[in-house]
Amino acid sequence: MVTIKDVAREAGVSVATVSRVWNGSAVVSDATRSRVEAVTSRLGYVPNSAARSLITSRTSTIGVLLPDLHGEFFSELIRGIDQSVRRSGFHLLLSSSHSDGAEVDVALRSMRGRVDGLIVMSTHAEARAAMRQLPPAFPVVALNAIVDGATTVLTIQNYEGARAMVRHLIALGHGPIAMIGGPIDNDDAAERRRGFRDALRESGRSHDLAMEVSGVFDEASGYRATTELLRRPTRPRAIFAANDAMAIGAISALHEHGLDVPGDVAVAGFDDIPMARYMSPSLSTVHVNIPALGERAAQRLLEAIEPTDGKALQQPKRPTRREAMKTTLVIRSSCGAAHKTDA
Amino acid sequence: MVTIKDVAREAGVSVATVSRVWNGSAVVSDATRSRVEAVTSRLGYVPNSAARSLITSRTSTIGVLLPDLHGEFFSELIRGIDQSVRRSGFHLLLSSSHSDGAEVDVALRSMRGRVDGLIVMSTHAEARAAMRQLPPAFPVVALNAIVDGATTVLTIQNYEGARAMVRHLIALGHGPIAMIGGPIDNDDAAERRRGFRDALRESGRSHDLAMEVSGVFDEASGYRATTELLRRPTRPRAIFAANDAMAIGAISALHEHGLDVPGDVAVAGFDDIPMARYMSPSLSTVHVNIPALGERAAQRLLEAIEPTDGKALQQPKRPTRREAMKTTLVIRSSCGAAHKTDA
DNA sequence: TTGTAAGCGTTATCAG
DNA sequence: CTGATAACGCTTACAA
């Protein structure tokens, strides 16, 4: 492995100078700079990141903690994050499948020192506890209601989107409307359920509240939930699933029962995963710009890591305490049919 | 930040002893061990990974280079990788969206020193060139035909699967069979196309070869390709798409043209993404165990990183040269209808 | 069984 | 503008 010493020796300068050239910062004469650069590329020198982060205590890496990796939601999310992150020359350390909160604790601990900041999506109470273990000023962006120790909380307009969609379904016809909710301990799911209930209540149809079942955000559970719904005495006129995956499962079940979608039963979902566009014209969905969610989360995190990029505006004193940075951002959601608009 | 020194001082031992306790290896008296462990957890000490990998030149991290992140294929793949990797206490550094080969080069360079091994999926010629820049013995698992410098190449039975599926479609009826192929520069796509052609040739229907269009492995291009197919004088009796995403796009297009699937036109895909099960009974697909692909890739890589886990069998001399480890593994694919078997 | 001390490759603080 | 040199936190011979 070729080190900074090799470059220094070969270029006839000190390691300090090579270092200065490499991170462009200091004042180096053009002559030496170009000489060092020549040697650098000739030797194929790449600075050792471990040594670097040992002394700077920065890793140029952000960690992403996800509960799961099933379905298109998460890949779209990661895609957005990846985009922001690489644009800033950072790396992405991914850890997933944190079904229970204890695992989050382990993951969090094992990531310590390997990342400069964290994007966390988890609903578990243990996760919140684990986050409290982090150094007080450690930059964290939470992708749901975990507030403790999070620099920023980024949420989706779950309530608004769900409410709008259910209103839309109500306008569609007269029969009862069912909801396939998400897991009970999931904050997003809870908000969507609240939107559903409120929309019904507002239209004076609280009796429809009875038609609620739940799933776990995947196609299989949407399928099962629908099968269960169809066993009931009254058949729903419309089904609102808490995400698109369950909605697709629902459509599948309805078709198998010889029901027409949306003729007999209308189906609506949430998220607007790319695939949803190709279930048309059967599926309406609440649009969420998932990659944008990821992108904004990453951007926010990077801002927290590097306070003021420091080119133009050099603020003499840091005016904002970390506390003051705590913000809640929102990703807007809008309701409508899925369209193949992307061409 | 609490360091090894703090623990040492607090426990009344030397840093060497703490280190020995921490990595369990050496012989430490039970008394001191427990004392150190107590202090360790009391202080919440976590070893600094940068310092650690500076001295050991191991990072406990593997890098994953992906061309893209669209669709379920990649998230399923990552899921499999993540599972193996975390089981071994390793971390996962993800880098995606390497549309062009030059980017792969940059990514590869920037990952140097941050990972102990690499899983690479890329078809670009530049990528192959970039891989040659890596240290000769650096562990790499390639997920397609990139052979240069790869410790292991892991491929899917593209040819066999495609051929079997097309035979199946031929058995289904009499009309022409069309194929929506993948990108021309993609090795997997090429093999699937070859399977398609051979199956037709074997059945003496080489004239059907004319019905070939291509897409880029997403729903939109499958949709477009199908629309194009339907503009031709002869309508295909069956469409074989090189992956499920395009097959789903195809189904969508067919429906919009008022065609029944599989009544008027049968549709088949490749990959068996979870979603495919919920397009039934319309969609047949070539089953590939995608998470297993990821899992095996990661396992293979980890083996290459840690040659013999070193508990029971302590081989006195390393018998295998790195060269000898070059292997080609294959993930079997089987053809059939998509079923909601996972319950 | 434990301690001492020499690095690992960088960056940063001083002098020059 | 450049060069020594002291850290950074940890592992690992080598001594004791």
Between CA A171 and CA B291 the distance in angstroms is 43
Q: Is the pLDDT of residue A320 over 70?
A: no
Q: A145 vs A42, which has greater pLDDT? A: A42
Between CA A270 and CA B224 the distance in angstroms is 25
* B256-259 long-range contacts, CB within 8 A, separation 24+: B257/B230
Q: How many Å lie between the alpha carbon of B290 and the closest alpha carbon of chain A?
A: 12
Report CB contact under 8 Å: A340, B97.
no
Residue B182's nearest CA partner among B150, B154, B144 is B144
End-to-end CA distance of chain A: 48
Match 């399928």 to its residue by tokens: A223
Let me know: does B193 contact B162? Beta carbons within 8 Å.
Answer: yes
pLDDT digits (tens, 9 = 90+) for A88-137: 999 999 999 777 777 888 888 899 899 999 999 987 777 777 787 788 78
| Average per-residue pLDDT for chain A | 85
Report CB contact under 8 Å: A44, B133.
yes
Q: Is the pLDDT of residue A315 over 50?
A: no
Per CB-CB distance under 8 Å, the chain B contacts of A78 are 69, 75, 78, 94, 96
Q: What's phi and psi for A321, nearest 5 deg?
A: -75, 155
- pLDDT band for position A307 (cuts 50, 70, 90): low
pLDDT digits (tens, 9 = 90+) for A260-306: 888 899 999 999 999 888 876 678 899 999 999 999 999 999 999 97
Q: Is the pLDDT of residue A321 over 50?
A: no
Length, in residues, of chain B: 343
Residues of chain B under the 70 pLDDT cut:
25-26, 145-147, 208-209, 280-281, 307-329, 336-343
pLDDT of residue B323: 47
Give me the mean pLDDT over the A25-46 stretch.
Answer: 89
End-to-end CA distance of chain B: 48
pLDDT of residue B221: 96
- pLDDT band for position A209 (cuts 50, 70, 90): low
Which of A58, A73, A91, A271 should be substituted to probe chain B, the one whose Cβ sees the most B Cβ atoms within 10 Å? A91
pLDDT of residue A80: 97
For β-strands A333-337 and A283-288, DSSP reports them as antiparallel
Let me know: does A32 contact A40? Beta carbons within 8 Å.
Answer: no
**Which residues lie closer than 8 Å to B263 by C-beta, 6 or more apart?**
none
Distance in angstroms: CA A215, C1' C6? 60
Query: Measured between CB atoms, does A181 come within 8 Å of chain B?
Result: no
Residues in contact with strand D, defined as Cβ under 7 Å from any of its atoms: A 12-17, 20, 26-29, 31-33, 51, 54-55; B 1, 3-5, 15-16, 19-20, 22-23, 25, 45, 47-48, 51-52, 54-56
Q: What's phi and psi for B226, nearest 5 deg?
A: -70, -45
Q: What is the dihedral sign for C-alpha A243, A248, A252, A258?
A: positive
| Identity of the residue in B95, B113, B280 whose CB atom sits nearest the CB atom of A46 | B113
Angle at CA A111, nearest 5°, toward A107 and A117? 115
- Residues above pLDDT 90, as percent of chain A: 60
Between CA A9 and CA B285 the distance in angstroms is 60
Helix ranges, A57-173 (H): 72-87, 101-111, 125-132, 158-172
Query: Measured between CB atoms, does B228 come within 8 Å of chain A?
Result: no
Q: What is the dihedral sign for C-alpha B254, B257, B261, B262?
A: negative
Which of A4, A41, A52, A69 should be substituted to probe chain B, the one whose Cβ sees the most B Cβ atoms within 10 Å? A69
Range with lowest mean pLDDT among A45-54, A231-240, B140-149: B140-149
Query: Measured between CB atoms, does B114 come within 8 Å of chain A?
Result: yes
CB atoms near residue B244 (< 10 Å): 31
Per CB-CB distance under 8 Å, the chain B contacts of A111 are 91
Strand order, beta sheet including A266-271? A212-214, A177-181, A238-241, A266-271, A283-288, A333-337
Nucleotide nearest to A45 (CA to C1'): C9
Give me the mean pLDDT over the A21-41 stretch.
Answer: 87
Residue B180's nearest CA partner among B88, B132, B245 is B245
| Identity of the residue in B46, B54, B72 whose CB atom sits nearest the CB atom of A113 | B46
pLDDT digits (tens, 9 = 90+) for A74-91: 999 999 999 999 999 999
DSSP per residue, B213-265:
EE--SSHHHHHHHHHHHHTSSSPPSEEEESSHHHHHHHHHHHHHTT--TTTTS
pLDDT of residue B88: 93
Helix (H) or strand (E) holding A283: strand A283-288
pTM of the model: 0.91
Distance in angstroms: CA B17, C1' C1? 10
Tokens of A124: 């578990």
Q: Is the pLDDT of residue A182 over 60?
A: yes
pLDDT of residue B315: 34
Q: What is the dihedral sign for C-alpha A94, A99, A103, A105?
A: positive
- pLDDT band for position A220 (cuts 50, 70, 90): very high
Query: Measured between CB atoms, does A86 come within 8 Å of chain B?
Result: yes
pLDDT of residue B131: 81
Q: How many Å lie between the alpha carbon of A69 and the closest alpha carbon of chain B?
A: 6
pLDDT of residue B249: 94
pLDDT of residue B317: 33
Report CB contact under 8 Å: B79, A86.
no
A14-23, A218-227, B150-159: range with highest mean pLDDT: A218-227
Q: A281 vs A59, which has greater pLDDT? A: A59
Let me know: does A195 contact A161? Beta carbons within 8 Å.
Answer: yes
Range with lowest mean pLDDT among A27-31, A326-330, B67-71, B237-241: A326-330
Nucleotide nearest to A26 (CA to C1'): D1
Query: Chain C positions under 7 Å from a protein CB?
Result: 1-5, 7-13
Q: What is the dihedral sign for C-alpha B111, B112, B118, B119?
A: positive
What number of C-beta contacts closer than 8 Å exist between A and B?
160
Query: Measured between CB atoms, does A223 come within 8 Å of chain B?
Result: yes
Report CB contact under 8 Å: B93, A94.
yes
Give me the mean pLDDT over the A310-325 stretch.
Answer: 38
